[in-house]
C-alpha cells in the first residue's frame, strides 16, 4: 500500500504498562506491511496492553515501539492507524446515527478545523456499505443489535482508510452471522493491502483471514509463527464461550495460574 | 404587550433568549460525556470570582469568567492526570469555590454582600445594557466555537479513548469544552443563578435525548427547548412575581416529565401491539418462501406472504425466522403504523 520499506509495527525490547507497572515486558515483534496478525492469549496475558501500547493508550515504559516507521509518540497523522476498541455497544447518552458515529473515523484525518467534504462522505458511505449496513445509515445506533453495533465500530475505523488496523476482541459477544460478515470484510481489507492486527482469545471465522499469530503469555511472546501452529501448539483457539467447560483442551479465555499471578502484580 | 414596554424586561428577555440558546448547545456535550454536574461545579467556582469582583470593585462578570475558566482548565488537567484522586480533587475545588465566595463576600463593605442571593438564584431584571453587551459577546463566541469544533467535541465526548487512539487532541478539546461551560456559567448566572445553571444546560438536552434520532437533531432540539423555556419562564415570572431562574427550571423539568411519560406510553403501546400481532399466529407451523402456497405480496422494499388475510413479513433473528404482522392487503396505513412503532 505504502511504498515504504519500513515495517508496519516494530517493537524492540518493549515494556508497556500503566502507572509505571509493566504488563508487557521485553517484547520483540515485527509486523510487515500487509500482514494479517492474530495476537492470542488468555485473559490477563497482556495482549490487550500490547495493542494499547501501540495506540498510545498504555504507556511505553521502555524499549522501542514504532508504528509505520515512527516512534509511537511521534507518529504524525495518527489517522493512518485504525482502531476498533473492545466495546460491546456504541450508544452514548445522546442518540447518534450510524452516519454520525462512522463520520468520527474520518475526522482524525482532517486536522482540527477542516470539515467533512464530499470525498469524506463517500468514504463514510463505503465503510458503512462494507460492513453491510448501508440501509441503516440514518438510523440511531442504539436501535441496532449488538453485533451490528460492533460492525459500526469497524466501519468507523475503515472510514479513515487506515494503513494499519488494530482490533481488540472484535468477535467477542457477537453472533455467528456478524462474525462471518466481519471475516468477509477483513478479508477484503487485507487483500487491499491493509495491515491487520487482531487481539483475540478465539479466532473463530477470522482464522480464514489471519495468517500469522503471536501468543502472549505473562506479558511475553511465547509463540510467533503461522496461525495453524499456534493452534496445534496451544490447543484449540476456536472454542467459544458457548462451549463452556465442554472441552478439556487448553482455552485462551481461562487464565493459567501463572497468568493470574502476573495480573495480581498489578497487570491488566 | 405590556411586558415589552419596560426597558428592564426587554433586557431580561434578551438575556434569557441568549442563555436559553447557548446553555443547551454546550450542555449536550456534557450529557454525552456523562459529566452533567460539571456546570454545577464551575458555578461554585464562579462565585469566588464574583466575590473577588465585588471586593476589588471590578465588574463581577469579568472576574467570574476568569475564575470559572481557570477552574475549568484545572479540572481537565486533574482529570487527565489523576485516576483515583480526580473525584476528590474536583469536590475540593468545587466546595472551595463556594466557600471562598461566601467568605470573601462577607468581607465586602456593608450593603454589597446582599448581592449574594442575586448571584445564587439569579436577578434577571437587574441586567444592564453593559451586561447585555458582554452576554452577546459570550453568546457569539460560544456558538462560533461549537459551530467550528462541534464534530470534534462530539467525537471526544462520545468515545474519548478512540479519539485519543486516532490522534485527536483530546486534552485540548476537553479544555475547550470546559472553557465553554465556564463561559456559559457566567452568561447564565444573572438569569438562572449559579445554583441552577446546570439545570438549563442539562434538562433541555435530557428532553431532546428522549425523542431525537441523531446527535445533530438532539442538539437543535435542545437549543429550541432551552430558548422556549427560558423566554417563557422569564415572561411567566414577570406575571407571577416568582424568581426567573426557578420558574425557568421548573418549566423545563415539567416538560421533561411530560415528554418522558409520553415516550414511555408510546413504547408500552408499541410493545403491546407487537405482542398482540405476534399472538395471531404464535405457533407458526410453516416457513414462508417462494412456492410455499401463500401468495407473495410485494410490500415496499420486501416481500410479505398473505396468510389467512394477514401479511406476514419474515425476518431472520438469532434463533430462527420470526414473522412480523404487516397488516392486511387492504390496509397499507397499518404497515406505516407498525413501522413507526418499531
pLDDT band at B277 (very low <50, low <70, confident <90, very high): low
Nearest residue in A to B27, CA atom = A94
- pLDDT given at position B146: 94
Q: Which is nearest to B158 in space by CA: A101, A242, A29?
A: A101
Average pLDDT of span A167-177: 84
Cβ(B297)–Cβ(B312) below 8 Å: no
CA distance B78 to chain A (A): 15
Max CA pair span of chain B: 92
Which residue of A19, A55, A93 is in closest CB contact with B165? A55
- pLDDT given at position B142: 94
Q: What is the DSSP string of chain A?
A: -----S-SEEEEEEEEEETTEEEEEEEEEEE-TT-EEEEE--TTSSHHHHHHHHTTSSEEEEEEEEETTEEGGG-S-GGGEEEE-S-S----SS--BHHHHHHHHHHTTSTTTPPP-HHHHHHHHHHHHHTT-GGGTTSBGGGS-HHHHHHHHHHHHHHT--SEEEEESTTTT--HHHHHHHHHHHHHHHHTT-EEEEEES--GGGGGT--EEEEEETTEEEEEEEHHHHHHHH--S---GGGTTT--S--TTS--HHHHHHHHTT--
C-alpha cell at B175: 479544555
Whether residue B185 has pLDDT greater than 50: yes
pLDDT band at B6 (very low <50, low <70, confident <90, very high): confident
Max CA pair span of chain A: 56
Nearest residue in A to B167, CA atom = A78
**Final residue before a domain boundary, out of B199, B233, B252:** B199
Whether residue A160 has pLDDT greater than 70: yes
Q: Do A115 and B151 touch (CB under 8 A)?
A: yes
Which residue of B152, B209, B316 is in closest CB contact with A94? B209
Does A142 lie at the interface with B, CB-CB under 8 angstroms? no
Residues 6+ apart with CB under 8 A from A42: A201, A217, A251, A252, A253, A254, A255, A256, A259
CA triple B317-B318-B323, angle to 5 deg: 20
Quote the percentage of chain B above a pLDDT of 70.
78
pLDDT band at A248 (very low <50, low <70, confident <90, very high): very low
**B234 occurs within a structural domain:** no
- pLDDT given at position A96: 93
Residues 6+ apart with CB under 8 A from B88: none
C-alpha cell at B314: 419474515
What's the CA gap between B267 and B307, in Å, rounded? 27
Whether residue B338 has pLDDT greater than 90: no
- Which residues are registered as beta bridge partners of A39? A199, A214
**Final residue before a domain boundary, out of B177, B199, B221:** B199
Cβ(A190)–Cβ(A1) below 8 Å: no
- pLDDT given at position A238: 40
Residue B56 and residue B176 in one domain = yes
Average pLDDT of span A234-244: 39
CA distance B63 to chain A (A): 30
Average pLDDT of span B254-278: 88
**Domain-by-domain residue ranges, chain A?**
9-264
CB atoms within 10 A of CB A239: 19
Cβ(A233)–Cβ(A223) below 8 Å: yes
What is the pLDDT of chain A when averaged over all its residues?
80
- pLDDT given at position A257: 36
- pLDDT given at position A111: 77
**Final residue before a domain boundary, out of B173, B199, B225:** B199
Q: What is the DSSP letter of B295?
A: P
- Chain B residues in contact with A117 by the CB 8 A cut-off are none
Burial of B124 (0-12, 13-18, 19+ CB in 10 A): buried
pLDDT band at A33 (very low <50, low <70, confident <90, very high): very high
- pLDDT given at position B336: 42
Residue-wise pLDDT for B63-122, tens only, equals 999 999 999 888 888 877 765 456 777 788 889 998 999 898 888 776 655 567 788 888
**B224 occurs within a structural domain:** no
**B251 occurs within a structural domain:** no
Whether residue A190 has pLDDT greater than 80: yes
- pLDDT given at position B280: 58
Whether residue B132 has pLDDT greater than 60: yes
Average pLDDT of span B225-235: 95
- pLDDT given at position A228: 80
Residue B292 and residue B158 in one domain = no
Residues 6+ apart with CB under 8 A from B161: A57, A85
B111 or A113: which leads in pLDDT: A113
A192 or A240: which leads in pLDDT: A192
Phi, psi of B51 (to 5 degrees): -60, -40
- pLDDT given at position B313: 65
- pLDDT given at position A221: 87
- pLDDT given at position A203: 84
**B245 occurs within a structural domain:** no
Does A136 lie at the interface with B, CB-CB under 8 angstroms? no
- pLDDT given at position B76: 84
Whether residue A233 has pLDDT greater than 60: no
**B103 occurs within a structural domain:** yes
Q: Which is nearest to B12 in space by CA: B109, B131, B108?
A: B131
Query: For chain B, what is the domain count?
Result: 2
Residue B19 and residue B121 in one domain = yes
Helix (H) or strand (E) holding B311: strand B310-317
Cβ(A68)–Cβ(A123) below 8 Å: no
Average pLDDT of span A88-101: 83
CA distance A70 to chain B (A): 14
Q: Do A81 and B166 touch (CB under 8 A)?
A: yes
Cβ(A186)–Cβ(A196) below 8 Å: yes
Q: Do B169 and A112 touch (CB under 8 A)?
A: yes
**B106 occurs within a structural domain:** yes
Name which of B86, B150, B165 to mutate to probe chain A: the one with the most chain A Cβ atoms within 10 A of its Cβ: B165
What's the CA gap between B51 and B69, in Å, rounded? 16
Its pTM surpasses 0.90:
no
pLDDT band at B26 (very low <50, low <70, confident <90, very high): very high
A146 or A34: which leads in pLDDT: A34
**B220 occurs within a structural domain:** no
Q: Do A96 and B155 touch (CB under 8 A)?
A: no
CB atoms within 10 A of CB A256: 15
B182 or B327: which leads in pLDDT: B182
What's the CA gap between B192 and A118, in Å, rounded? 42
Radius of gyration of chain A (CA): 18
- Chain A residues in contact with B33 by the CB 8 A cut-off are 93
Q: Give the domain A9-264 fold.
A: Rossmann fold (3.40.50)
- Chain A residues in contact with B158 by the CB 8 A cut-off are 92, 96, 101, 104
For B80, the domain range is 2-199
**B279 occurs within a structural domain:** no
Q: What is the ipTM of this complex?
A: 0.81
Quote the percentage of chain B above a pLDDT of 90.
39
What's the CA gap between B57 and B203, in Å, rounded? 35
What's the CA gap between A167 and B229, in Å, rounded? 45
Residue B190 and residue B289 in one domain = no
Whether residue B48 has pLDDT greater than 80: yes
Amino acid at each position: 500500500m505504502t511504498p515504504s520499506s519500513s515495517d508496519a509495527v516494530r517493537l524492540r525490547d518493549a515494556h508497556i504498562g500503566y502507572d509505571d507497572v509493566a504488563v508487557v515486558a521485553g517484547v520483540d515483534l515485527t509486523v510487515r506491511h500487509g500482514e494479517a496478525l492474530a495476537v492470542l492469549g488468555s485473559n490477563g496475558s497482556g495482549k490487550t496492553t500490547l495493542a494499547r501500547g501501540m495506540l498510545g493508550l498504555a504507556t511505553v515504559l521502555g524499549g522501542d515501539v514504532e508504528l509505520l516507521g515512527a516512534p509511537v509518540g511521534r507518529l504524525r497523522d495518527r489517522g493512518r492507524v485504525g482502531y476498533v476498541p473492545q466495546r460491546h455497544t456504541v450508544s452514548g447518552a445522546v442518540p447518534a446515527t450510524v452516519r454520525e458515529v462512522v463520520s468520527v473515523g474520518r475526522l482524525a484525518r482532517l486536522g482540527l478545523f477542516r470539515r467533512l467534504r464530499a470525498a469524506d462522505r463517500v468514504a463514510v458511505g463505503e465503510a458503512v456499505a462494507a460492513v453491510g449496513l448501508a440501509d441503516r445509515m440514518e438510523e440511531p445506533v442504539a436501535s441496532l443489535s449488538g453485533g451490528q453495533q460492533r460492525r459500526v465500530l469497524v466501519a468507523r475505523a475503515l472510514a479513515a482508510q487506515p494503513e494499519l488496523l488494530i482490533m481488540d476482541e472484535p468477535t467477542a459477544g457477537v453472533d455467528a452471522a456478524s462474525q462471518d460478515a466481519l471475516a468477509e470484510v477483513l478479508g477484503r481489507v487485507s487483500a487491499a493491502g491493509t495491515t491487520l492486527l487482531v487481539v483475540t482469545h478465539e479466532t473463530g471465522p477470522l482464522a480464514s483471514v489471519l495468517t500469522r499469530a503471536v501468543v502472549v503469555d505473562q506479558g511475553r511472546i511465547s509463540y510467533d509463527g503461522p496461525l495453524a501452529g499456534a493452534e496445534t501448539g496451544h490447543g484449540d483457539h476456536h472454542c467459544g464461550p458457548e462451549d463452556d467447560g465442554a472441552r478439556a483442551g487448553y482455552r485462551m479465555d481461562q487464565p493459567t495460574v501463572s497468568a493470574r499471578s502476573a495480573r495480581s502484580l498489578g497487570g491488566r | 404587550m405590556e411586558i415589552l414596554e419596560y426597558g428592564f424586561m426587554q433586557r431580561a428577555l434578551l438575556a434569557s433568549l441568549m442563555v436559553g440558546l447557548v446553555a443547551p448547545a454546550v450542555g449536550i456535550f456534557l450529557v454525552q460525556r456523562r459529566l452533567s454536574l460539571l456546570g454545577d461545579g464551575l458555578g461554585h467556582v464562579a462565585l469566588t470570582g464574583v466575590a473577588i469582583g465585588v471586593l476589588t470593585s471590578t465588574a463581577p462578570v469579568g472576574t467570574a469568567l476568569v475564575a470559572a475558566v481557570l477552574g475549568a482548565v484545572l479540572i481537565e488537567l486533574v482529570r487527565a492526570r489523576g485516576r483515583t484522586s480526580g473525584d476528590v480533587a474536583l469536590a475540593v475545588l468545587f466546595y472551595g469555590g463556594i466557600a471562598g465566595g461566601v467568605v470573601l463576600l462577607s468581607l465586602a463593605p456593608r450593603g454589597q454582600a446582599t448581592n449574594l442571593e442575586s448571584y445564587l438564584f439569579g436577578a434577571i431584571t437587574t441586567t444592564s445594557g453593559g451586561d447585555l453587551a458582554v452576554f452577546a459577546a459570550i453568546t457569539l463566541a460560544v456558538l462560533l466555537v461549537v459551530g467550528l469544533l462541534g464534530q470534534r467535541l462530539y467525537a471526544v465526548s462520545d468515545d474519548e479513548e478512540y479519539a485519543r487512539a486516532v490522534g485527536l487532541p483530546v486534552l485540548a478539546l476537553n479544555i475547550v469544552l470546559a472553557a465553554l461551560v465556564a463561559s456559559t456559567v457566567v452568561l447564565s448566572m444573572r438569569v438562572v443563578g449559579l445554583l441552577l445553571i446546570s439545570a438549563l444546560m442539562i434538562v433541555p438536552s435530557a428532553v431532546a435525548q428522549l425523542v431525537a434520532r441523531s446527535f445533530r437533531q438532539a442538539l437543535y432540539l435542545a437549543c429550541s427547548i432551552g430558548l422556549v423555556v427560558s423566554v417563557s419562564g422569564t415572561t411567566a415570572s414577570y406575571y407571577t412575581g416568582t424568581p426567573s431562574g426557578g420558574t425557568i427550571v421548573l418549566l423545563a423539568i415539567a416538560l421533561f416529565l411530560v415528554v418522558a411519560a409520553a415516550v414511555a406510553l408510546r413504547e408500552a403501546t408499541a410493545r403491546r401491539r407487537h405482542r398482540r400481532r405476534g399472538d395471531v399466529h404464535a405457533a407458526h407451523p410453516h416457513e414462508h418462501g417462494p412456492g410455499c402456497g401463500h401468495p407473495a405480496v410485494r410490500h415496499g422494499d420486501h416481500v410479505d406472504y398473505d396468510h389467512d388475510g394477514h401479511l406476514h413479513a419474515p425476518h431472520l433473528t438469532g434463533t430462527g425466522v420470526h414473522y412480523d404482522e404487516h397488516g392486511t392487503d387492504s390496509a397499507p396505513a397499518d404497515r406505516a403504523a407498525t413501522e413507526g412503532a418499531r
